[in-house]
Amino acid sequence: MENLDEIVCTCLGVTGKMIKDAVDAGAGTVEEVQDATGAGTICGSCLDEVSRLVDIFVSERSK
């Protein structure tokens, strides 16, 4: 994702930056990011993208 300001979850207006912030604050799973941001908890259509971003941000965090 080039633009972290891009909305990933349209239902709740969650951006890539909000997901990154949740991971930076300690979330390490999609479920923990959902608890922190609400992303993917309404219609679920963004869950693939949320999962992809969580994987990227968690791997970046461990470097």
Distance from C-alpha of 12 to C-alpha of 22, rounded to nearest angstrom: 15
* CB-neighbour burial class of residue 5 (10 A; exposed 0-12, middle 13-18, buried 19+): exposed
- The two three-digit tokens of residue 39, written as one number: 């992303």
Distance from C-alpha of 62 to C-alpha of 44, rounded to nearest angstrom: 27
pLDDT band at 1 (very low <50, low <70, confident <90, very high): low
pTM for this entry: 0.93
Which domains, and CATH codes, for the chain?
A: 1-43 (1.10.10.1100)
Give me the pLDDT at residue 45, please.
97
- What's the pLDDT tens digit per position in 4-39? 999 999 999 999 999 999 999 999 999 999 999 999
pLDDT band at 60 (very low <50, low <70, confident <90, very high): very high
Give me the pLDDT at residue 16, please.
97
